[in-house]
Chain A
Amino acid sequence: MKLYKIRVTGDKENFNIEYEYSINFVDYIKIEYQGSEQEKYQKFLQELEQNGGMHPINVKVKMKTKFVDRAYLKNEIIKIKDVNDFINRL
């Protein structure tokens, strides 16, 4: 069971998402995914489904047009299949 943190930067059209996980709630390790943002996001969803627990996902938002950090439940994020839809939800 891992705790996940996502960092979103850029803007609505040109964004970047970094994925991290922690096993001790304090130190986070970066997950290195390859591919487009959509491909990386899909891989993260698989990871979340397999290893995510009941803990909410911490979303750090540092975009040009959005800045309020969010938290999402695992089930809620898993329902969002398209990375653009995820960005729009922030």
Chain B
Amino acid sequence: MKKFENIMEKLAPFIMKFANSKPVMAMKDGLMLIMPLTLVGSLFLLLAFIPIDGWNSLMEGLFGQAWQEPLFQVVGATFDIIALVAVFGIAYTYAKNEGCEAVSAGILGIVSFLIVTASYVTGSGNEKIGGVIPKTWTGGKGMIAAILIGLLVGYVYSWFIKKGIRIKMPDGVPTGVANAFSALIPGLVIMIISMLLYILFKVLAGKTFIEWVYEVLQTPLQGLTDSLGGAIAIPFLISLFWWFGIHGPAVVMGVMSPICQANALANQEIVNAGGKLIAGQNAHIVTQQFVDQFITFGGSGMTLGLVLAMIFLAKSSHLKRLGELSIVPGIFNINEPILFGFSIVFNPMMLLPFILVPTLSGIITYTAIRLGFLAPFTAVQIPWTTPPILSGFIVGGWRAALLQVLLILMAALIYLPFLKIQDKISLQEELKSESAGEYLNI
């Protein structure tokens, strides 16, 4: 155990350096801008595909065959532009964190993204239809390219501004005008670089930069995260980092979230085209819902099972009361009182269940989807604070809700022996300190 702690202590500065690096910070905060789009867009998507027999026929009867069209207008204006919003958000955040005027950087991010994207679509007769922004590449398929472009634009723009290579306007010129002129030189350079990238990839690879990134980087990354290894690595790392005092979800999902989002959107594309999602063939398994609703629900380490066990089975008043106080936050997937009050963080005894429970949950959920018990998730997403069972039902119907119930029971069973040891210690401490009156006043 000591050896393991020493290794983690040596690794911690590197993990923190990576997690707090400028690109990761810009990525994490910049991608927050897409959250309202995906959550609100999900409501309309859910309405279009309510999993109730006869729903489609009912709506067709009421509103005609094209009843889903207005809903898809909203879906198309939210999910299908998340890469554009992401590139703005990342370039904006990078520049803001560097202390530069950031809106111009965000706009230049969008401009750069569009320069390296095809400005035509191919019609059914193979003819090119110009004057369009193809939504194929501005949604999930353009996510990794959006991250790369956003970071590059943010960096180049900030470099020029910080080095003072910009048109400076005299004092007295309104700030808005001065900022617009400041952006001219970095803007010109960014557009030239983007154009050269477009030419380079068109000539050498015969495709646009966005298409190349999708094929060479995004698809393999999606495949990697989508494997059983990905389903195990994500919960394992989240819990391991938290146990060692580093906010695991912030570090792990800061990097993994765009890929999980892209996986869900790829699934949705299949559904929109009238296809059926089949795990192992055309569907991705590890999506944002997989993480939020099946390996971190109840909080990191899935401690909701532990909280229930504390309420019903703990003998010490300390743990029983802590369980009662933690149940409401736990239902909303917040487990800070348990992480710090039980405590789990840095507690050698709790390391094993804290890692084992979510990792097993990842394996079980992955297998449930792979074997067809659970349908792969589409783009329908809900806030991570949505209580379990309800969240499962919304993203995956009654089977997902049932699976969540089983996973909570599994968590309670695995945590139970460790709870009993802690309960025994707490009970002894209570007896000792009862007369001294120095125990935590809960």
Contact = CB atoms under 8 A, between A and B. Distances in A.
A55 B20 contact: no
Contacts of A70: 245-247
Contacts of B360: none
B interface, by DSSP: helix, strand, loop or mixed?
helix
Interface string A1-19: 1110100000000000000
A71 B251 CA distance: 14
Given A55-B343, A58-B340, A68-B19, A1 B247 contact: no
A66 interface: yes
A81 B423 CA distance: 35
Given A25-B322, A65-B97, A55 B246 contact: no
A45 interface: no
A79 interface: no
Interface in A62-80: 64-73
Interface string B15-31: 01001100001001100
B52 interface: no
A69 B250 contact: yes
B191 to A, nearest CB: 29
Contacts of A1: 438-440
A25 B247 contact: no
A71 B340 contact: yes
Contacts of A69: 247, 250
B441 interface: yes
A64 to B, nearest CB: 6
Given A3-B340, A26-B325, A68 B247 contact: yes
B218 interface: no
Contacts, number: 75
Interface residues of B, number: 30
B442 interface: yes
B337 interface: yes
Nearest to B442: A24
Given A55-B341, A68-B16, A24 B246 contact: no
B336 interface: yes
Instruction: Name the residue among A2, A56, A90 with the largest chain B CB count within 10 angstroms.
Output: A56
Nearest to A72: B245
Contacts of B329: 26
A66 B340 contact: no
A25 B341 contact: yes
A69 to B, nearest CB: 4
B67 interface: no
Contacts of A55: 340-341, 343
B250 A23 contact: no
A66 B246 CA distance: 12
B242 to A, nearest CB: 8
B337 to A, nearest CB: 4
Contacts of B442: 23-25
A29 to B, nearest CB: 12
B343 A54 contact: yes
A27 B25 CA distance: 30
A64 B97 contact: yes
A60 B20 CA distance: 14
Nearest to B28: A67
Contact of B345 (A5, A71, A90): A71
Nearest to B251: A68
A56 B439 CA distance: 17
Contacts of B250: 67-69
A69 B326 CA distance: 20
B346 A56 contact: yes
Instruction: Name the residue among B251, B336, B440 with the largest chain A CB count within 10 angstroms.
Output: B440
Contact of A65 (B20, B251, B340): B20
Contacts of A67: 19-20, 25, 28-29, 250
B345 A56 contact: yes
A25 B326 contact: yes
A58 B343 CA distance: 11
A81 B246 CA distance: 21
Interface in B247-300: 247, 250-251
Contacts of B339: 58, 71
A24 B20 contact: no
Contacts of A72: 245
B426 to A, nearest CB: 12
Contact of B20 (A58, A68, A73): A68
Contacts of A54: 343
Task: Give 6 closest A-B pairs by Cβ, nearest first.
Answer: A25-B341, A71-B245, A69-B247, A25-B337, A24-B442, A71-B345
13 contacts: A24-B325, A25-B340, A53-B440, A56-B340, A56-B346, A65-B25, A65-B97, A66-B20, A68-B246, A68-B251, A69-B250, A71-B245, A90-B16
